[in-house]
Amino acid sequence: MFLTARIGRMMLRARIMEAMMTRRALTLMGIAAALGAAPALAHHSFAIFDQSKVLYASGTVKEFELVNPHAWLHVDIVGRDGKTATWSFEAGSVAQLASLGWKNDSFKVGDKVEVGYRPMRDGSRGGQFMSAKLPNGQTLCSNRGCGDGSGKILPAF
C-alpha cells in the first residue's frame, strides 16, 4: 500500500511538472510570435499611392539608393514650366529587387530613364515605383509588377 501511494504521488508530480513545462513552452512561443510580428505591424501601407493609376515620366537619374527597407530612385524631371524638380520613387526591398536582377549600378547618375509609377495621392512629386526603361532599352520592374498590363507581375514576398 505504501509503495502504491508513493508511486501515485510521483505520477501526480510528473503530470504537474509536464503541465507547467507545456504552459511555459506555449508562453515562450506566444512571446516569440508576437515579437516576430512586430516588424510587419511597423510596415506602412500603400494607401499613400493612387493604386488606380500608372503614370509615366521621363527624366535624368539624380541618385539611386538600393537600401532597406525600400530602395529609392530620385529623378530630375523638367516640368511644363521648364523648371527642373527632383521626383522620388519608392521601390521594394533590396532582397526583392535583387531577385529581379537589380544591382547597385542598375541606375547611373545622368542616365535618361522613363519611370512608370503610381502617383502620390496628395500630388507631391513622387510615387510607388513600378518600372523604368533604361537607356539600353531594358525595363526593370518592381516587386509589385510592371504595372503596364504586360503580365510581368511576380507574387510579393
Residue pLDDT, tens place only, 66-83: 999 999 999 999 998 999
Cell numbers for 44 = 506602412
Distances (CA, A) of 57 to 75, 126, 129: 9, 10, 11
H helices of the chain, in order, are 2-42, 94-99
Residue 54, number of CB atoms within 10 A of its CB:
19
Confidence of residue 84 (pLDDT cuts 50, 70, 90): very high
**What are 137-157's pLDDT values in tens digits?**
888 988 767 765 554 543 332
Q: What Rg do the C-alpha atoms of the chain give, in angstroms?
A: 27
Distances (CA, A) of 99 to 54, 59, 71, 156: 23, 26, 14, 11
**What are 28-61's pLDDT values in tens digits?**
776 766 666 545 545 557 788 998 888 999 999 9
Give residues with Cβ within 8 angstroms of 85, minimum separation 6: 76, 77, 79, 125
**Single-letter residue type at 83:** K
pTM of the predicted structure, to 2 decimals: 0.67
**Single-letter residue type at 15:** R
